[in-house]
Amino acid sequence: MRPLTLTLTAAWALSRRSTARTFEEASRRPRRAQEAWFARLQRSAKDTAYGTAIGLGSVYSLDDLRRRAPVTTWEDVAPWVERIAAGERRVLTSEPVLVFQRTSGSTALPKRVPYTQGLLDDFSAATGPWLDDLFRHFPAMFRTRQYWSLSPAARAPETTPAGLRVGLDDDTEYFGRATRFAMAKLMVVPSQVAQAPTMEAWREQTLLRLIEAGDLGFISVWNPSFLTLLLEALATRWQSLAPSVSPQRRTALERAFDAHGGLDGAALWPSLALISCWTDAWAASAVPALRRFFPTTPLQGKGLLATEGVVSFPLWGQPAPVAAVTSHLLEFEALEDEGRPTRFVDELREGASYSPLLTTRGGLVRYRLPDVVRCVGHWRALPMLRFEGRLDRTSDLRGEKLSAVVVERVLAEALRDVPHAFALLAPSDATPTPRYSLFLDAPLDEGRCSALAADVEERLRDEFHYRYCRDLGQLGPVHVLKVHDGRARWLAAMQARGLTLGDIKPTAFDPAVGWEARLGLTSR
């Protein structure tokens, strides 16, 4: 091992162990850990504008909080966040807001989540034990370099009216300072590559650096299709990239292709020990395509980490991620119990499904995430939580996060002057690239259908995450499929889901795939 790598690995290990020891203690007595966490938050947040408004100063226990503080959504939080964006202090937190992180949700309201140093430290309280666990199971991996695809490509800078930054400069800010320092030195692709002027330039720079990294030992991406698309580009363009690669790696690249032109990722990166990516819910459909390049390399599914906070993180060998009990105060709405009562982390029942509530040092109090997790067992005293999908009508095939509110607004505008009996936008999990289909019952010829598809596509691209997935090539363009008796077929399909006609609400969006068959079409 090179001396610099050894020094960085040692420094990184020390930073991980601190958070890992705290987590190990909390994993045996999670209720005590959560009570202590909330006591610290209550002392610091009770005199903020929001803390005063909800009477946080008189809430001294977790049971008090459950009885007195309301469950909140982004619609409740948004007005307070706008006050912070305008420059007001001590609104949600006593700490200053360092940055806003963008995300999209189930409403048309823009979401800019405020980040404080405390919130970033609490993200580290989950990422530290995760990395420490990987170190113990894959020690050789930490003597190699790594690829993290955390930073979005081609993202324009943004600030609030008060000059506060929107968007992390580098997503390694989710980690502690020592970890960030080590990661910056061990990264195969430096964060500056994300600032490439075009998506094509970003892709080429990324591929060249990956090819040169013969000591690549770890890959972390969110959506598996992100990595698949990079490898597909490498498989089709490697001969044009080869002249820019060192002779040694050019030889390795040539040997990584079999007689049929298939790329063997393990041959190109023989030190690769692990790939971390989403593997649950919709992401599972993208895993087989990734396995074409890495048939035997171990995969580890990620936990539930939202922009607002972290709910769970994985431990190697466990059937599902464990609750991030040292990061935030976690509550869970029991979705299968009458009235959906809330449960604390030590009260979850194996086999039951829940929706998480977060109280964080970013200022959120009992904030509802529209996600569904199922408790599949316990590790020590902590519940293991498998992500099962979204509660709201949001489609997220490849990270685009399209919501019903956005889609219905787009279609209302695009179809304003188009006579039609039925319209429904839904995802088509087509191969090799999924896309969205507009099922339309209208007297339009092929030319007008194509023009309408282009119009809908252009309007959807106003949404950041959709545009990003399209630019990366993770989604194909919208297309129009003409249907007959669409409304009747749609009602029959909804009734088949167990709904009565009186309970079926009109909608122009459904996040489920398979509507080609339900509406009498052959899958395309």
Express each pLDDT in 245-275 by its tens digit. 999 999 999 999 876 678 999 999 999 999 9
The residues that bridge with 256 in the sheet, in sequence order, are: none
pLDDT in tens, 169-202: 666 777 777 777 777 778 899 888 877 888 788 8
Confidence of residue 105 (pLDDT cuts 50, 70, 90): very low
The stretch 319-339 carries a mean pLDDT of: 96
- Average pLDDT for 202-211: 93
Quick check: 366 pLDDT over 60? yes
Q: Quick check: 149 pLDDT over 70? A: yes
Confidence of residue 428 (pLDDT cuts 50, 70, 90): confident
pLDDT band of residue 523 (cuts 50, 70, 90) is very low
pLDDT, residue 285, reads 67
The pLDDT assigned to 102 comes to 78
- Read off the pLDDT band of 12 (50, 70, 90): low
Distance CA 115, CA 363 (A): 9
The token duo for 293 is: 């390049």
Instruction: Tell me which of 172 and 402 has the higher pLDDT.
Output: 402
Distance CA 146, CA 210 (A): 10
Confidence of residue 207 (pLDDT cuts 50, 70, 90): very high
Q: How confident is the model at residue 156 (pLDDT cuts 50, 70, 90)?
A: low
The percent of residues in the chain predicted with pLDDT above 90, rounded, is: 61
pLDDT of residue 169: 64
Higher pLDDT residue, 149 or 214? 214
Question: Average model confidence (pLDDT) for the chain?
Answer: 88
- Report the pLDDT averaged over residues 40-64: 95
The band of 500, judged by pLDDT with boundaries at 50, 70 and 90, is: very low
Q: What is the pLDDT of residue 361?
A: 97
CATH of domain 9-118+311-390: 3.40.50.12780
Tell me which residue of 171, 217, 212, 211 sits closest to 191, measured CA to CA.
Answer: 171
Domain 394-518 fold is GMP Synthetase; Chain A, domain 3 (3.30.300)
- pLDDT given for residue 259 in this prediction: 62
Q: Once rounded to an integer, what is the mean pLDDT over residues 455-466?
A: 94
When pLDDT is averaged across residues 18-27 and rounded to a whole number, the result is 93
Extract long-range pairs of 409-412: CB within 8 Å, 24+ residues apart.
409/108, 410/456, 410/459, 410/460, 411/438, 411/456, 411/508, 411/509, 412/508
Mean of pLDDT values over 356-378 = 96
Residue 30 CB: number of other CB atoms within 10 A? 21
Using CA atoms, how far residue 294 sits from 192, 215, 275, 490, 505, in Å, is 27, 16, 9, 40, 44
Going from N- to C-terminal start, the domains of the chain cover 9-118+311-390, 138-301, 394-518
Query: 3-state DSSP helix/strand/coil percent for the chain, to nearest 5?
Result: 45, 20, 35
